[in-house]
Amino acid sequence: MSARRLPPIAGEWIDRSQILPFTFEGNSFWGYAGDTITTALVAAGQRVMGRSFKYHRPRGVLSLANHDVNALIQDGQQLNIRADITPLEAGMSLTAVNTKGGLMGDRASVLNFFSPFLPVGFYYKAFHDKNRFPFWERLIRTISGLGKVDTSTPHIRTPKCYDFCDVLVVGAGISGLSAALTAADAGADVVIVDENAQAGGAGCYQRGGETWQAETTIALLQTVQNHPQIRVYLATQAAGYYADHWIPLVDKQCLTKMRAKAVIMATGAYEQPAVFHNNDLPGVMLASAAQRLIYRYAVQPMERAVVLVANQDGYRAAIDLATHGITVMAIVDLRPNNIENDLTKTIQAIGIPIYYSHCIYEAKSNPAVDRVSTAVICPIDADGQPQTEDKQAIACDGIIMSVGWAPAANLLYQAGTQMRFDPSLQQFVPEILPAGIFACGRVNGVYEFDQKITDGERAGSEAIQYLGMGDGGRQGSRSQEPGARSQEPGARSQEPGARSQELELTQNSLAPHPTPHTPHPTPPSHPFPLIAHPAGKNFVDFDEDLQLKDFYNAAQEGFDNIELLKRFTTVGMGPSQGKHSNMNALRILARITGKSPGQVGTTTARPFFHPVPLSHLAGRGFMPERQTPLHSRHTALGATFLLAGQWRRPAYYAQSGKDRSQCIQREAEAVRTRVGIIDVGTLGKLELRGSDAAEFLERVYTGRYTNLKVGMSRYALMLDEAGVIVDDGVIARLGADHFYFTTTTSGAAAIYRELSRLNTMWQLDCGLVNLTGARSAINLAGPNARHVLTQLTDCDLSGTAFPYLAVREATVAGIPAILMRVGFVGEWGYEIHVAAESAPALWDALLEAGAEYGICPFGVEAQRLLRLEKGHLIVGQDTDGLTTPFEANLEWAAKLDKPFFIGQRSLQTVAKRPIKQKLVGFMLAQNFRGTPPQECHLIIDSDQIAGRVTSIGFSPVLKRFIGLAYVKPELADNGMHFSIRLTDGALISATVTATPFYDLNNLRQKEAAQRQEVPV
């Protein structure tokens, strides 16, 4: 048995038959299946879980319920794991976050001694001084932060799911279970969601030494589990509330978008810490945390405890501690000695001393072990001020706090609920609920066990009535029981006309909601459990290391509004989002300003309710990845893929013993010297028919197409209304009223949508069909391309019969095809378009026919290099969202004397102005062997930015680096020199060079008899 593991306890969550080894801060530990990271560490005797954010003070268990920052852990590439609720897994390698040199030897703990020099609002004041801002920014960025990001972490693909129900119950405590059963018995489809690994809530662990509450809860759970109308989502957070009862449910695997017809909030309440000197020491924890350790995980929280109380829950916790072998040294009650009930009698019978009207003034630690060793208590006066002349010290190794609660009302606030402060409860409770939203249990101000059951039945009944599904289900079965909610004076079901009034409200209106609770003789929450101390270190917000004095100082500087106070002090802005600090903060502000907490009000609650992993927000991604019909062929040839738009395309084909660069150069050389084949089926492929087809193209594209001959093709440039380049392609005329044209891979879908919109708007006599997915295309290019293709077709491929830019319809390997003579890579080539299902057969036939000519498949990287040698730009790479044809050297493609084309008017205006940049070719020195520039590296001239590189690569034909870049017009002349700044700041020289770099006169597109020596 480990150091603090208790003997088996009925209802414990752990499986003692499964032992899980793990490491923490380099030390070996083990726990049981069912443990969380925190509980396994506490069971092993580890008291320090982390370091505080600002002062790097040692921290231990506080809430054990995801309500604080004390236990944030990193597990390899997983950062900021909430150890309190994260299940333990075998093999975890855990470290604490926010340390410099490890948890126990944190060098940054020196900041604790400099805390007087880091007052509240320090960051704002430091940043306000513009001269000191850079210094403070660097310093704060260096020493702050939580987990360490590993940039090699793989992309996590997290799906989004969708679900629907009649009634969603948030919270699987006793009131939520009761509400769910009431609604389900009436026929509703009910979903219960709870962030805990098991249902039951406080009914299973706040026992006070008795078992009947746990037994009742377990019986209710069994009924829920067996109910056919109820689904239970455990270890799942209801992360926020959005319009129309839309609630994101977040679990480890996915985010589920839940749409409910009605929502019952049974979210409970957060136990609040008391504020006293050193209240953050390891060993100081909330009473509910200690009870969870005992009853859920069979872990002994401490050996000797002092219990600070201000409600009956604290007495129950003291009894639970004593029941399980923990010595309760004393109960310190903030309230006066006028309390007499069964719990106090039990405490007295055990022999535990009770100090009424006393507080814990400070906690002292044992420096050798970084944990509490002494509780110093003293009397308090009627105003709650400590009377320090009568202090006494009580030795202990743990302090338990049970001084009050704050409603877990974040989702209610987000739904638009109006809350009011109830002095008899010292708590905000719902006053006006939106239609279709209901509340029960502690969030509704109901604390007694039986009353929570009845309050849940009431909420379930009202939800059913709201949905018009019945008469309230289970409530009738309990309405005659003594003490049932419906028989209490002022209960909701007894209000005259309450239901009928609500039914008259519209779905978007708010319904009155008087809180159905019985007045308590003493509130469950103390009005001011905060004790001042001259040495400070009495923390209100554990996330941000905010002390009691910080709030007084903030108010003194004028930040005496709750929203301003929040932003100046940063209270509630840490990972816990104020779950344990906001209520105390507004109590402090209320005392400072002489107002009630209700008059001070609360801060705005916004989603998310709990931290949500970014992977869940990003989701799996709804942009599908598409594969061409030839994907299996590429895979068999060893292709390394890249994503081009939505398509998976071969970047290059890997070869044994060759690196990436060598493979790309091998493919480019094959196209230049023999023949290459590339899959270009990802191009957008559109067909246009009709008597107005040519007119339509005239309006859309910048060139002329009414005079395009049948059987020929022409370059096509498309602009937007501002005259900016958005796409390009090739338009082929197959008949007088029949055109077939291509778009860029990434622009295919958007261009088709835009053309469809224009066709609808203009009402021309033509029809547009998107054939991108229905047709495939293969480009065959190189000096031997015609020899290869001649073997597979009877089409006359001679230069005379099939000249450059011509288009023909023929059969290739018995497959009907459209052949286009185009030259994007600068070689004699054919773009062969066939039905998608015929592409594999065509690919195989071409490879077989080209085997004797050394045919070589080439990928996108080689294609980009080959087109760069020809100076051809790529839209989206060599252009951006502001590039016009004049800047990209495409003014020849824009026929400004046409009657109209989209972007023409803007282009005519732009033509009258001097351009600011020009796309030019450049070369590096022939003997350059260093680190080459990359795309987007800056052009520098006279120490000023003069442009940027858009494309660059090493040409195996030219034996040097070539590229394209935008430069200022005065640098655009051939032979001009400019500098390119590398990532490390170094400058290298480049020379402006005319394009194309290769085959300047395009002789490679002509018949061999017409060619001269190709200039290089």
- The predicted model gives 369-389 an average pLDDT of 92
So what's the pLDDT on residue 493?
Answer: 34
Instruction: Report the distance separating Cα 510 and Cα 418, nearest Å.
Output: 9
Sign of torsion, CA 853 854 860 866? Answer: negative
So what's the pLDDT on residue 622?
64
Q: How sure is the predictor about 505, in pLDDT bands with cuts at 50, 70 and 90?
A: very low
Sheet containing strand 72-75, strands side by side: 27-33, 15-24, 93-96, 72-75, 78-82
Interior/surface letters 722-736, b for 16+ CB within 10 angstroms, e for the rest? bbbbbbbbbbbbbee
Q: Which residue has the higher pLDDT, 565 or 9?
A: 9
Contact in structure between 400 and 290 (CB atoms under 8 Å): yes
* pLDDT (average), residues 365-387: 90
Predicted confidence at residue 127, as pLDDT, reads 67
Report pLDDT digits (tens) over 701-741: 999 999 999 999 999 999 999 999 999 999 999 999 999 99
Please name the residues in contact with 338: beta carbons below 8 A apart, sequence gap of 6 or more: none
Average pLDDT over residues 938-955: 94
User: Which helix H or strand E contains 435, and what residues bound it?
Assistant: none
Position 488 pLDDT exceeds 50: no
Q: Quick one: pLDDT band at residue 685, thresholds 50, 70, 90?
A: very high
The two most distant CA atoms of the chain are separated, in Å, by 115
Q: What is the pLDDT of residue 506?
A: 33
Span 838-844, average pLDDT: 97
Tell me what pLDDT residue 138 has: 77
Q: Which two tokens stand for residue 205?
A: 């662990």
How confident is the model over 675-694, as a mean pLDDT?
A: 97
SS3 content of the chain, % helix, strand, coil (to 5): 30, 30, 45
For residue 414, what are the CA distances in angstroms to 267, 388, 605? 13, 44, 6
pLDDT of residue 1016: 38
* pLDDT above 50 for 667: yes
pLDDT at 117: 65
- The identity of residue 200, as a single letter, is G
Which residues lie closer than 8 Å to 489 by C-beta, 6 or more apart?
A: none
Q: Work out the angle between the directed axes of helices 287-297 and 312-323 (0-180°, nearest 10).
A: 40
Per residue in 622-659, pLDDT (tens digit) is 667 899 999 999 999 999 999 988 899 999 999 999 99
DSSP code, position 1006: S
Strands 358-366 and 230-233: unpaired
pLDDT for 71 = 87
- 427 vs 609, which has greater pLDDT? 427
Give the model's pLDDT for residue 498.
Answer: 33
Answer yes or no: is pLDDT of 508 > 50: no
Distances (CA, A) of 725 to 95, 891, 899: 52, 11, 19
On the question of pLDDT at 800 being above 70, the answer is yes
pLDDT digits (tens, 9 = 90+) for 987-1010: 999 999 999 999 988 888 877 545
The more confidently predicted of residues 112 and 180 is 180
Looking only at the bridges linking them, the beta strands covering 539-541 and 93-96 are unpaired
Distance of alpha carbon 941 from its chain centroid, rounded?
42
Model confidence pLDDT, tens digit, residues 213-259: 999 999 999 999 999 999 999 999 999 999 999 999 999 989 999 99
pLDDT of residue 248: 95
Query: Residue 433, class by beta-carbon neighbours within 10 Å (0-12 exposed, 13-18 middle, 19+ buried)?
Result: buried
Q: What is the percent of the chain where pLDDT is above 90? A: 72
pLDDT value, residue 123: 67
The pLDDT of residue 93 = 94
Residue 679 phi, psi dihedral angles, 5° rounding: -80, 115
pLDDT confidence of residue 511: 55
Tokens 């066990």 correspond to 449
Span 693-706, average pLDDT: 97
- Lowest-pLDDT choice from 157-166, 168-177, 673-682: 157-166
**pLDDT number for residue 126:** 66
Q: Check pLDDT > 70 for residue 35.
A: yes
* pLDDT score of 491: 34
Instruction: Identify whether 608 is preceded by a cis peptide bond (ω within 30 of 0).
Output: yes
Identity of the amino acid at 682: T
Is residue 490 over pLDDT 50?
no
Tell me what the mean pLDDT of segment 884-911 comes to. 95
DSSP-derived letter for residue 36 is B
- Confidence bin at 768 (pLDDT 50/70/90): very high
Q: pLDDT-based confidence at 386, cuts 50/70/90?
A: very high
Dump the DSSP string for 231-268: EEE-S-EE---BTTTEEEEE-SS-EEEEEEEEEEE---
* pTM, to two decimals: 0.70
Higher-scoring residue by pLDDT: 38, 70: 38
- From 88-92, 158-162, 294-298, the region with the lowest mean pLDDT: 158-162
Apex CA 344: angle with CA 343 and CA 345, to 5°? Answer: 90
How many CB atoms are located within 10 Å of the residue 586 CB?
A: 29
Task: Give mean pLDDT, residues 71-86.
Answer: 89
Model confidence pLDDT, tens digit, residues 808-822: 999 999 999 999 999
Q: Give the chain's mean pLDDT.
A: 89
Which pLDDT value is given to residue 337? 84
In this predicted structure, what is the pLDDT of residue 576? Answer: 85
Average pLDDT of the segment spanning 787-806? 95
